[in-house]
């Protein structure tokens, strides 16, 4: 899943129709759970970071002379991390807003 492609996120149709999620990690419409989407996104950020570290090591050690690939990998990891932090901030903000609601 591309961290910047919001079209891959599951729809909210199951919530509006009152359907309950199943125990298989997907709701009754076949869309993955929110937690699974977050886990996958975090794994992709981790993979981008690992790739950038490996490319940087290869460049520094002399195993690779392709600086362009190393710089692209580092920039991709940076953008992925910034996106993850923005999503985290929005989730924390939404949680705090829900906690401020009066019952």
Residues contacting 88, CB < 8 A, separation 6+: none
pLDDT of residue 20: 52
CB 80 within 8 A of CB 45: yes
Q: Would you kindly state where each structural domain of the chain is located, as residue ranges?
A: 29-100
Q: What is the pLDDT of residues 6-50, one digit of tens each?
A: 555 455 454 445 555 555 555 567 788 988 998 999 999 999 999
pTM assigned to the model: 0.64
pLDDT at 84 over 70: yes
């Amino acid at each position: 899943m591309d961290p910047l492609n919001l079209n891959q996120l599951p729809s909210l149709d199951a919530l509006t129709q009152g359907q309950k999620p199943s125990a298989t990690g997907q709701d009754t419409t076949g869309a993955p759970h929110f937690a699974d989407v977050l886990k996958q996104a975090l794994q992709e950020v981790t993979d981008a970071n690992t790739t950038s570290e490996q490319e940087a090591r290869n460049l520094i050690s002399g195993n690779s002379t392709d600086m362009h690939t190393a710089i692209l990998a580092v920039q991709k990891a940076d953008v992925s991390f910034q996106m993850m932090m923005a999503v985290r901030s929005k989730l924390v903000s939404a949680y705090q807003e829900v906690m401020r609601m009066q019952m």
